């Protein structure tokens, strides 16, 4: 089993539609950590580890199966997003249909995330693979921060190259039986990433209109934007 997170990345440096780039050390994404993992390698200089806060999008049973001992200095938030994103229990639907279902039925869980982010230091968002539930939440956060839509899709696609390591970790931890899963569940297809972007940006009120309609708090959004884009 890989002894480090397989799908970890800092989301600083992404281009904004208004010019400039997102700041490092604010928002991280990954697959699930496991007891015994080594500290990650490859984070940008100056990005703190362990993170100040962790938002775990998995269901309670997933967390119970593989608990991770974060230090007391890290605020951990159990914020179950949607069962349909669990690779071990994914329904008999195409991946794009699963994403559409999450955006339709769990939008308020997505829009609650800005209010859960650390006020200082990095926040790590993860699920099991760091692909589906994390992919949806992170894509929405990036769009809310004014990241260029094509850069949002490109970030989502980066997960595909990490899936062999992710699957090995999930299998070793008992959270996945690959022989029972459909191959497409392990993919990060462009159409799935674009579905999230088009759903949110296609709202009549734009990205912010989608956020507000689904219960998003504007004060929390502005705090996130101030830290992530510096204004």
Asked whether residue 36 is assigned to any structural domain, the reply reads yes
Residue bearing tokens 């579905």: 195
Domain total for the chain? 1
Quick check: is 228 in a domain? no
Which residues, in sequence order, are CB contacts of 83 under 8 Å at separation 6+?
A: 59, 89
Check which CATH number belongs to the domain holding 133 and give it.
Answer: 3.90.190.10
The pTM for the full model equals 0.95
Higher-pLDDT residue of 142 and 2 is: 142
Q: Is residue 83 part of a domain?
A: yes
> Does the residue 58 lie in any domain?
yes
Answer whether residue 231 is part of any domain: no
DSSP 177: -
Residue 197, domain extent: 9-216
Closest CA to 155 of 5, 3, 15, 4: 15
| Distance between first and last Cα of the chain | 42
Q: Which of 13-17, 64-68, 138-142, 223-227 has the lowest mean pLDDT?
A: 64-68
Whether residue 30 lies inside any domain: the answer is yes
User: pLDDT tens, 27-78?
Assistant: 999 999 999 999 998 899 999 899 999 999 999 989 998 899 999 999 999 9
The per-residue pLDDT for 192 is: 96
């Amino acid at each position: 089993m890989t002894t480090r997170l397989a799908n970890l990345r800092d989301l600083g440096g992404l281009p904004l539609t208004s010019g400039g780039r997102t700041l490092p050390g604010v928002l991280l994404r990954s697959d699930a950590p496991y007891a015994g993992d080594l500290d990650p390698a490859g984070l940008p200089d100056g990005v703190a580890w362990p993170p100040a806060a962790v938002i775990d999008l998995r269901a309670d049973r997933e967390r119970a199966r593989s608990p991770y001992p974060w230090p007391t200095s890290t605020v951990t938030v159990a914020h179950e997003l949607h069962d349909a994103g669990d690779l071990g229990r994914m329904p008999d639907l195409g991946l794009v249909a699963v994403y559409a279902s999450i955006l339709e039925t769990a939008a308020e869980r997505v829009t609650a995330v800005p209010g859960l982010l650390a006020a200082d230091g990095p926040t790590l968002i993860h699920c099991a693979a760091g692909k589906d539930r994390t992919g949806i939440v992170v894509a929405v956060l990036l769009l809310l921060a004014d990241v260029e839509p094509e850069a949002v899709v490109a970030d989502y696609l980066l997960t595909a190259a990490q899936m062999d390591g992710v699957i090995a970790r999930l299998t070793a931890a008992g959270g996945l039986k690959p022989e029972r899963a459909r191959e497409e569940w392990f993919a990060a297809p462009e159409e799935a990433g674009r579905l999230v972007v088009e759903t949110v940006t296609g709202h009549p009120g734009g990205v912010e209109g989608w956020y507000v309609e689904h219960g998003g708090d504007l004060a929390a959004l502005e705090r996130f934007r101030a830290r992530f884009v510096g204004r």
